[in-house]
Structures are given as structure tokens and as C-alpha cells.
Amino acid sequence: MTDPGLLVAGETLVDFLPRGGGSLADAETLDRRAGGAPANVAVGLARLGYAPWFWTRVGTDPFGDFLVETLEDHGVPLRFVERDPTAKTTLAFVDDGAGEAAFSFYRDGTADTRLEPDGVPEETVRAVDAVYVGSVTLASEPSRTATVDLVERAHAAGRTVVLDLNFRPELWTDGAFERVVTDLLADVDVVTAAREDLRTLSFVDTTADPETLAATLCERGPSTAFLTLGEAGASALARSGAPFAAGTATHDGYDVDAVDTTGAGDAFTAGMLASLAEGTRDLSATLSFANAVAAASTTATGAMAALPTRTDVRSVGGDGT
């Protein structure tokens, strides 16, 4: 196997959802699914033909076994998937009884919070073209220090650093998210976010138009910003020196019969990274492909199980890269 050109880092966890939706308090049966934004991105890339290295950590408990088997089944290399014999695997319980998903995390001292600096050797960092990190591992130590260390090393090595602002208020104390993110953005090349992920950042006006939001993020360090807009599609801005050609782009999305939007943002990010790995510099083409990946992912249930192949992407109108 040729060594991957991408490295994904972050949490892998087990999501429990009420069967048929609704409130956890009223649920008699829960469905178990593999999850975590970085895990979804890693699997999404594998489905698109760009299986990455994936640095994560799970317990040696049955939940960890389930996650490792799931990653392997989807073609994700396990070289940097760590097993922790003294920590449990993170669990998340999803409640959408109020119409918007709320998460209850069982994550105190769990395996994914215990990533340590230098878990990925320097030669691997220098061998890849791009490094993606999520923001959940930034919420706890020592995984925060480990994630920051990886970003700093990748930036120093001239690798493209991608940060996914996946804000989970349940994991952060007041003001901590902004402090950590602001410091990290200086070493980031590409940032991805949904509008709701930015609501606690005091330097961002979340009522602004997408191009203004993207420009505001780029003022903090990144050369490129992608904003996912739900049913309205997505928007992007790239400045001179970015891995993409400078300019702005918008895409209204694709008309599909959506049955489950869980993980669509992660699918979008996987599509963007696949486009980057392909060497595509055209921002509009990248946005079109990433939106097609996201749209295709909504036509089946389950965030990870629904992540599409290139054939699936072409079926909704995405040409591929």
C-alpha cells in the first residue's frame, strides 16, 4: 500500500440515538453508531479513494473493539489508532426531542482525551501533504496539547493544516473555546465551519453574509475558509498563497431526497480534502464536489454508513475531481 498523503487526527466515539428519533427520556431502545467528526472524515476519505492515516485513541473495552473493527471495515489504516488499556471509550448520547440535536458526553478521562504529544512521528508529519484536526480534542488535556503540538509541527514542516471548528458547548467552559481557537488559527491554512460553530467567537458577527464571515476567519491566520450553510449549500474564500486559487465561490447545493443529515458537514469536509489531495486548486470545483459528497451522504441513514463513494457522488450531479 502507498503511504497516505493525508493525516486525520481526533476523536472516535460511539453515538447512541433513540430509535426513531425523539427524546432520550422517552426512548426504550437506542441505536449504536460509530462517530466522531474526525472518524467520519477519515472514513469519508477512504470511501472516496483517499484513505488517510488516522490518529485517534480508544479503549480496550468492547466499544473500542467495535470502533476499531468499523474503521478497518471501511478501509482506514490502523497504524495510528491507539488502544488505551486504562481508559474507557467515549460515549455520546444524542437527544433531538427539542428538534435540534443535543449531546450528553461520557468523556471524563476517556481514551480520546489522552492523546499525547509526538504520537505521530516527525517523519510521518513531513511525509503527508495535509493534516486535518477537529476541535473536540482541543477541549481536554492532554489531548489539547497533543493536537496543538501536531498542528505546530505540521505548520513548521510546510504541510497544509486544516482545522474543523466543530463546536460542542457541552465540552467547553466559558471563553475557553475562543482562547484555544484564536491561538491555533495562526498556524492553520484552511478552516471549515458551520455558522452555528462560530456563535461563541466574539470577533465573529454570525449575522454577516458568508463572504464576510469567511474573511473574518482568514484575518486570524488561515488563507482559506469554507462555510457550510445547510440547505443553502456552502461558501468559500481563498486568499493569495492558499492551497486553492485565490477568489470566492458559492454553491447552492444539490436537490436530493434527504433522509438523514447527520454527518453531512463531515462528508463535506471529506470531499474538500479529497479535492485537495487530488491537486484541484479551483475553488468552485472543490466547493461543487464537496457539496455533492455532502448531499449524497444525506440520502441514507447513519453518518458513517451513509458516507458516499465516487459513484454515489456522481449520481447526485458531482463530477468528482
* Residue 128: per-residue pLDDT: 98
Nearest to 138, CA basis, from 200, 187, 184, 188: 184
37 forms beta bridges with: none
Place of cell 458568508: 210
* Residue 100: per-residue pLDDT: 65
Provide the 3-class DSSP secondary structure of residue 34: strand
* Residue 319: per-residue pLDDT: 62
Question: Which grid cell is 34?
Answer: 460509530
* Residue 271: per-residue pLDDT: 98
Q: What is the pLDDT along the chain (321 residues), one digit of tens a residue?
A: 578 999 999 999 999 988 887 888 888 899 999 999 999 999 999 999 999 999 999 999 999 999 999 999 999 999 999 999 999 999 999 887 666 677 889 999 999 999 999 899 999 999 999 999 999 999 999 999 999 999 999 999 999 999 999 898 888 988 899 999 999 999 999 999 999 899 889 999 988 999 999 999 999 999 999 999 988 999 999 999 889 999 999 999 999 988 888 889 999 999 999 999 999 999 999 999 999 999 999 998 877 989 999 999 999 876 655
Q: How far apart are CA 141 and CA 139, in angstroms?
A: 7
Q: How far apart are CA 255 and CA 276, in angstroms?
A: 25
Nearest to 190, CA basis, from 229, 146, 159, 232: 159
* Residue 175: per-residue pLDDT: 87
Give me the domains of the chain, ranges plus CATH numbers: 6-11+36-89+108-315 (3.40.1190.20)
Q: How far apart are CA 89 and CA 105, in angstroms?
A: 11
For residue 9, what are the CA distances in angstroms to 82, 116, 163? 12, 12, 10
Looking at residue 257, what DSSP letter applies? -
Question: Which grid cell is 78?
Answer: 490502523
Q: Which amino acid is at 172?
A: W
For residue 316, what are the CA distances in angstroms to 256, 270, 312, 320? 7, 16, 7, 11
For residue 182, what are the CA distances in angstroms to 160, 211, 243? 18, 19, 21
Q: Kind of pairing, strands 102-106 and 160-165?
A: unpaired
- DSSP string computed for 196-235: GGGTT-TT--TTS-HHHHHHHHHTTS-SEEEEE-GGG-EE
Q: How far apart are CA 24 and CA 42, in angstroms?
A: 28
Q: How far apart are CA 98 and CA 105, in angstroms?
A: 18
HSE, CB side, 13 Å, CA atoms: give it for residue 27.
17
Question: Which grid cell is 264?
Answer: 453531512
* Residue 182: per-residue pLDDT: 95
Q: Do residues 75 and 49 lie in contact, with contact meaning Cβ atoms separated by under 8 Å? A: no
* Residue 112: per-residue pLDDT: 97
Q: Classify the C-alpha dihedral 122-148-182-244 as positive or negative.
A: positive
